[in-house]
Amino acid sequence: MTTPFEQAVRQHGATVLRVCRAVLGPGADADDAWSEAFLALLPSWPSLEGGTNVEAWLVRVAHRKAIDITRRRQRHAVPTDELPERVSALGNPGDGSAAVWESVAALPERQRLAVAYHYFGGLPHAETAALIGGSAAAVRRASADGIRALRRTYLTEGESP
């Protein structure tokens, strides 16, 4: 590209910033995505062909950078001064639910680990198999056997699983 890089920043900067703010809202994250888009263009600038639609290129890159920042936000906890006042669905220590955990602990090791990783940890059977060894089908069977044993312990006569 024969034009100076600064001219591209002046010419397309406002459009790129609008895209970043549309995705991220006003603030430092939008400014960061804007900067990252132009930093991504900088190394390629001398080798760009004259007919390249720089604005379209920058808008596409800025949009992707904004999405990356959005994903990063979702992966990090947001600090807060106040904790929500909600009762845990898992129970509280000392509220009598210890018997359930004792029953889980009494399961054979493979069943206990399969139940813990799949049902409590939310891992798919394939990932659980990678952790405890064996195939996904074997882990699926072990978790099903563990849940069946727990149901036998806690279902009363006349109830169906």
Instruction: Give the length of the chain.
Output: 161
pLDDT, one tens digit per residue, over 99-126 is 777 888 889 989 989 988 888 788 889 9
pLDDT, one tens digit per residue, over 41-81 is 888 888 888 788 888 888 888 888 888 888 888 887 777 88
Q: Cβ(134)–Cβ(127) under 8 Å? A: no
Looking at the chain, the domain(s) classified CATH 1.10.1740 span: 5-75
Name residue, tokens 């600038």: 45
Looking at the chain, the domain(s) classified CATH 1.10.10.10 span: 98-154
Q: Where are the alpha helices (DSSP H) in 28-159?
A: 28-41, 54-75, 98-106, 109-115, 125-132, 136-154
Mean pLDDT of the chain: 83
Residue 18: closest CA among 4, 35, 34: 34
Domain at 98-154, CATH class: mainly alpha
- What CA–CA distance (Å, rounded) separates 86 from 69? 30
Q: How many CB atoms lie within 10 A of CB 5?
A: 13
Q: How many helices (H) and strands (E) does the chain have?
A: 7, 0
- What CA–CA distance (Å, rounded) separates 3 from 29? 29
pTM of the model: 0.45
Domain at 5-75, CATH class: mainly alpha
pLDDT, one tens digit per residue, over 80-95 is 888 777 766 665 555 5
- What CA–CA distance (Å, rounded) separates 40 from 84? 41
What sign does the dihedral 71-75-78-84 (CA atoms) show?
positive
